[in-house]
Amino acid sequence: MRTLAFQMPDRGAGPSGPRMRVGRPSRRARTLLLTLGVLAVLAMAFIMFAGFWTDWLWFRSVAYSSVFTTTLWTKIGLFAVFGLLMAGAVGFNIWLAHRLRPPLSAMSMEQQSLDRYRMSVAPYKKWLLLAIAAIVGLIAGASAAGQWKTWLMYVNGVPFGKKDPQFGLDVSFYTFDLPWYRFLLGFGFAAVVLSVIAAVVVHYLYGGLRVTSPGARATAAATGHLSVLLGLFVTFKAIAYWLDRYGLAVKSSDFKAADNWTGLRYVDANAYLPAKTILVAIAAICALLFFATLWRRTWQLPVIGFGLMVLSAILIGGLYPAIVQKFQVQPNEQAKESPYVEKNIDATRNAYGIADAEVKDYPGTGSNTDQAKLRANADTTASIRLLDPNIVSPAFQQLQQVKGYYGFPATLAVDRYKGQDTVIGMRELNLAGIPKNNWINDHFRYTHGYGVVAAKGTEVTKNGDPVFIQSDLPSKGEFGTGNAFKQQIYYGEQTKQYSIVGGPQKELDYSDDKGEKETSYTGKSGVSLDNPVNRAAYALAFSEPQILYSGAIGDGSRILYNRTPKERVEAVAPWLTIDGAAYPAVVDGRVQWIVDAYTTTNGYPYASRTTLGDSTADSLTNSQRAVVAQENRVNYIRNSVKATVDAYDGTIKLYQWDTQDPVLKTWMKAFPGTVKAKSEIPKALVDHMRYPQDLYKVQRELLTRYHVTDAQTFLSGSEVWAVPDDPTTKTGSAVPPYYLSMKMPGQKEQAFSLTTTFTPNGRDNLSAFMAVNADPGTPDYGKIRILKLPTSTPVDGPKQVQSKFNSKPEIAQEINILSRGDSQVEYGNLLTVPLDDGVLNVEPVYVKGGGLKYPTLRKVLVTYGGQTAFEDTLEKALNVVFGAEAPTAPTTPTTPTTPPGEGTTTPGTQDPTVKAALSDAQKAVEAAEKARQSGDWAAYGKAQDDIKAALQRAVDAEAKLTTPKSGS
């Protein structure tokens, strides 16, 4: 009867009897199903192939195929290695657990119920083993493939040449090595945990582990197997504790002295660091106890050791540091934390490139009493830009759009040509303005924009419109005319749709009075659609079947896509963070988009972190200008690359800009040949490069706190600044930095600069003014200068200046008059300029409406030393504020460069004709003022005409006096 104790359980097959015969499908049906299955598999394979193939074709078309192949093979390698390791680890432990199963199962209800599962699994054991190993391998491999950047930085890492102050290790250990070690550690933990779970399930299923059966809960084999796995887990924990010691140098923590603090503080160095070291030893001993179970066959000591480790982690790793913080640090925080704050200040200033920022005290209240000299200095200190690139885009649109299917970006760019600050925009394609939208028009007929439009930044016409130096269609002016440069804009900020060019379908080039001009693209960019495989792949990629069979595609057809400058640079250099604003320049007969790109890391020891999206946001930020951040939280940034994208053929060039940046050097090792040397940048291109806005905004955000280098002052928070809100908008967003040519105190000449203001934290008065030399052609490019204003004599900040402008009765009255009817007043950029120990503020005021669809400059607000002026021109406003006129040449009268009535210099002669004309002009001015106050706009217009006529008579008379007589 003993054989009954191990009898086979009932399989539950049910009573036997006659079975129903199920008819098999016919041969034709089976063939059809097989064919459909094969087609489905082929379709799925082609879908996967299409994505890969189109990516490869695009990278090859831009001559950056090495980026594609390096990235691809790195991902494949990581996927294969770590996928196989995970699959092997889990599969091996499943096999081992099965091999270590007991020969017979104990007789119990638990085991009888498990027998059913064992019997059902038995025929498929190998397949289940392979399936489980494959699944975990695929998941692990996919996760590892996502670490391709971490791996490439690890194997190509270049030393920084700087050591962290705590452990004395090169910064590269934290930026390149530590992230890879942490990945390996995480992978090891995952492999052990999955192996433990798989082993437990198999041991339980085959009787190695028992829950309710009588006798021992685990066999000796199962005990030994699991103890080794748990020993490995605790070993990894010991390694984790060891790496955590170094992780303290890049650990984020809340600290009242600074947000996003990283690095060791007093409690870290004196409590957490010793605790981690002790925990390493405890974990190592605990791991040995688990391994010893192979011989002792008991869980008693390992469990005790593991409990000790957990208790130690709570007491030593948690409670002890809290006690140190409470009873040692808080009673004397400044003294305890000062040495660590100094390390943080030094590291942060180095990591963000602000270590050399020059901070000088500045009175803020003008000391020069010579009004004539002040007035002269106002003209030489800065080239005040009246044309606000953030407002005048509609003026460009209205005056230079020419056709409805052209458009300009909402924010234009500021550049300089021949020493003149210039506002520039591209006349890009606007699909919304196409007369009739269809597939042919959208992708074959209307394929590009046409022409460059540029205007002087410091001048306007008598009507308040831009003074264009390059305009019309085709574009002509100072940059060239006709075929002097390639005017077609195939690649631009607004060009986001794909186009198919170069084939049998002609493109619309531009339209003029003589009709439409057609063209066919001759550039080498884009991907050829000559063969059916490419056409099928792109038909699938763009979900447009017409690409496959359209007759508009033929020999020479090429498809253009990824057409914005930022998209193209980001695609060929995925390891770069792209600035939010690409800007155009005409260089050697080509329109080039210039793109600033950054190398970043969040592993710089002791440097505080910042969030790029938050730091770079201001009142002008939108989806087009937002920074494209590969790594949004960073604590190191360099403008290491200047990139260009040709507007006609899309050629992408990456130039090394920061030759000392170790992060860029690392990526150049990983992707050799992709970045050109700095020496290869053409001089004509350098003349149009500038200091990048997003980097400047990050730096100014950090400098609100890190302009302080004294630890005690830093901890007190008494010198914390803030970036003021933009007073000209109601968004409550930060004021954007402004480009203009100016000279800071101590500079001999004006330099193209990027400027901003600071206010005290929680107050509106001005605390500092900051400017960086933005012209790469000068020796001190990138030099940050900060003028720190005294707290004892408050100077108005931007919000206060704007408030006083708006509240001054006479100005408020004029604003109300300008706003009557359907007119709308728009305030331009409020520019702040240091002038003779004082602060000059200038703000152009635009009016939109009254039959015009775009803003025109109507008034200029100026304030200095408590004096305010609101005049028609900048020259008049400066004259009023300083009580003196701009100096004129004493011998040779100057012919006005602006239209009569707009900032024209008053002739200095005493000729009776001139005097009479000036008298008439004065009377007309008085009449115009009375008409304006009474709202009689007809009389106001007549008076303006009288002013112009009188001034013109004066100019003509002056010219006759200075014309040499014949024979003299």
Q: What is the pLDDT of residues 514-548, one digit of tens each?
A: 788 889 999 899 999 999 999 999 999 999 999 99
Q: What is the pLDDT of residues 744-754, one digit of tens each?
A: 998 889 999 99
Tokens (6 digits) for 945: 């005409």
Element (H, E) at 183: helix 178-205
Contacts of 758 (CB under 8 A, 6+ apart): 700, 703, 704, 721, 722, 723, 724, 766, 767, 768, 769, 770
Tokens (6 digits) for 486: 């390639």
For residues 430-445, give the mean pLDDT. 90
Distance CA 142, CA 663 (A): 26
For residue 936, the model assigns a pLDDT of 63
Tokens (6 digits) for 665: 């050097």
For residue 498, the model assigns a pLDDT of 95
pLDDT bucket at 968, cuts 50 / 70 / 90:
very low
pLDDT exceeds 70 at position 213: no
Backbone angles phi, psi at 877, to 5 degrees: -65, -40
Q: 842: which strand partners?
A: 862
Distance CA 791, CA 750 (A): 28
Backbone angles phi, psi at 91, to 5 degrees: -60, -40
Distance CA 199, CA 205 (A): 10
pLDDT bucket at 904, cuts 50 / 70 / 90:
very low
For residues 468-497, give the mean pLDDT. 87
For residue 905, the model assigns a pLDDT of 37
Distance CA 271, CA 329 (A): 11
For residue 955, the model assigns a pLDDT of 63
For residue 810, the model assigns a pLDDT of 85
Is beta strand 252-255 parallel, antiparallel or unpaired with respect to 824-827?
unpaired
Specify the length of the chain in residues.
Answer: 968
pLDDT exceeds 60 at position 2: no
**Neighbour count for residue 558 (Cβ, 10 Å):** 20
**641 and 610 Cβ atoms separated by less than 8 Å:** no
Q: What angle do CA 243, 246, 250 make, to 5 degrees?
A: 120
Q: 601: which strand partners?
A: 636
Backbone angles phi, psi at 548, to 5 degrees: -75, -35
Is beta strand 590-601 parallel, antiparallel or unpaired with respect to 577-578?
antiparallel
More confident residue, 938 or 37: 37
Kindly give the interhelix angle for 371-381 and 874-882, rounded to the nearest 10 degrees.
Answer: 150
Distance CA 684, CA 594 (A): 13
For residue 365, the model assigns a pLDDT of 86
For residue 944, the model assigns a pLDDT of 65
Q: Which of 273, 238, 280, 255 is nearest to 164 (CA)?
A: 273
**Rounded to the nearest 10 degrees, how much is the dihedral formed by the CA atoms of 349, 351, 357, 359?**
-20
For residue 110, the model assigns a pLDDT of 60
For residue 267, the model assigns a pLDDT of 92
Integer CA distances (angstroms), 18 to 15, 21, 23, in order = 10, 9, 16
pTM, rounded to two decimals: 0.84
Strands (E), 113-247: none
pLDDT exceeds 50 at position 14: no
Amino acid identity, residue 314? Answer: I
DSSP 326-338: IIIIGGGHHHHHH
For residue 411, the model assigns a pLDDT of 87
For residue 3, the model assigns a pLDDT of 38
Contacts of 308 (CB under 8 A, 6+ apart): 282, 286
More confident residue, 420 or 604: 604
pLDDT exceeds 80 at position 484: no
Tokens (6 digits) for 125: 């054991």
Q: What angle do CA 605, 606, 610 make, to 5 degrees?
A: 95
Contacts of 791 (CB under 8 A, 6+ apart): 760, 767
Cis upstream peptide for 474 (omega within 30°): yes
pLDDT bucket at 214, cuts 50 / 70 / 90:
low
Half-sphere exposure of 401 (CA within 13 A, CB side): 18
For residue 109, the model assigns a pLDDT of 63
Contacts of 902 (CB under 8 A, 6+ apart): 460, 461, 462, 872, 873
**Helical segments of 511-630, H only:** 532-541, 546-549, 565-572, 612-615
pLDDT bucket at 896, cuts 50 / 70 / 90:
very low
Contacts of 170 (CB under 8 A, 6+ apart): 159, 160, 161, 162, 163
pLDDT bucket at 941, cuts 50 / 70 / 90:
low
Range of weakest confidence among 282-296, 614-628, 949-963 = 949-963
Tokens (6 digits) for 748: 């001999």
Range of weakest confidence among 410-414, 531-535, 933-937 = 933-937
Q: What is the pLDDT of residues 834-852, one digit of tens each?
A: 999 999 999 999 998 766 7
Distance CA 500, CA 556 (A): 10
pLDDT exceeds 60 at position 903: no
Q: Which of 901, 915, 831, 848 is nearest to 871 (CA)?
A: 901
More confident residue, 510 or 572: 572
Distance CA 926, CA 940 (A): 10
Highest mean pLDDT of the ranges 329-343, 666-680, 939-953: 666-680
pLDDT exceeds 80 at position 442: yes
For residue 892, the model assigns a pLDDT of 34
pLDDT exceeds 60 at position 4: no
More confident residue, 932 or 966: 932
pLDDT bucket at 19, cuts 50 / 70 / 90:
very low
pLDDT exceeds 70 at position 107: no
For residues 162-187, give the mean pLDDT. 96
For residue 77, the model assigns a pLDDT of 97
For residue 295, the model assigns a pLDDT of 79
Distance CA 572, CA 643 (A): 11
Q: What percent of the chain lies above the pLDDT cut of 70?
A: 86
More confident residue, 280 or 21: 280
pLDDT exceeds 70 at position 309: yes
For residue 317, the model assigns a pLDDT of 82
Tokens (6 digits) for 279: 């925990």
**Neighbour count for residue 887 (Cβ, 10 Å):** 12
More confident residue, 648 or 45: 648
pLDDT exceeds 50 at position 967: no
User: Burial code of 625-649, b = ≥16 C-beta within 10 A, e = fewer?
Assistant: bbbbbbbeebbbbbbbbbbbbbbbb
Distance CA 227, CA 291 (A): 6
Tokens 């692990």 correspond to 140
pLDDT exceeds 50 at position 94: yes
**219 and 208 Cβ atoms separated by less than 8 Å:** yes
pLDDT exceeds 70 at position 105: no
Q: Which of 717, 639, 635, 774 is nearest to 258 (CA)?
A: 717
Contacts of 65 (CB under 8 A, 6+ apart): 56, 59
For residues 227-231, give the mean pLDDT. 92
Range of weakest confidence among 81-90, 175-184, 215-224 = 215-224
Tokens (6 digits) for 222: 């199962």
Left (φ > 0), alpha (ψ -120 to 50) or beta: where does 962 sit?
alpha
Q: Which of 244, 252, 250 is nearest to 272 (CA)?
A: 244
Backbone angles phi, psi at 140, to 5 degrees: -65, -40
Distance CA 118, CA 204 (A): 11
Q: What percent of the chain lies above the pLDDT cut of 90?
A: 51
Backbone angles phi, psi at 890, to 5 degrees: -70, -25
pLDDT exceeds 60 at position 17: no
Coil vs helix vs strand at 454: strand
**868 and 861 Cβ atoms separated by less than 8 Å:** yes
More confident residue, 925 or 780: 780
More confident residue, 105 or 946: 946
Distance CA 45, CA 51 (A): 10
More confident residue, 596 or 733: 596
Q: Whole-number mean pLDDT of the chain?
A: 85
Amino acid identity, residue 805? Answer: F
Backbone angles phi, psi at 103, to 5 degrees: -65, -35
For residue 20, the model assigns a pLDDT of 44
Q: Is 807 exposed, middle or buried, given 0-12, 13-18 or 19+ CB atoms closer than 10 A?
A: exposed
pLDDT bucket at 301, cuts 50 / 70 / 90:
confident
For residue 850, the model assigns a pLDDT of 67
More confident residue, 124 or 493: 493
pLDDT exceeds 50 at position 675: yes
More confident residue, 227 or 963: 227
Q: 901: which strand partners?
A: none
**Neighbour count for residue 246 (Cβ, 10 Å):** 21
For residue 119, the model assigns a pLDDT of 75
Strands (E), 310-451: 358-361, 406-407, 413-417, 420-426, 428-429, 449-450
**Neighbour count for residue 19 (Cβ, 10 Å):** 6
Range of weakest confidence among 125-129, 156-160, 299-303, 635-639 = 299-303
**Neighbour count for residue 287 (Cβ, 10 Å):** 23
Distance CA 413, CA 596 (A): 14
CA 439 to chain centroid: 33
DSSP 384-407: ---S-TTT-HHHHHHHH--STTEE
Backbone angles phi, psi at 136, to 5 degrees: -65, -35
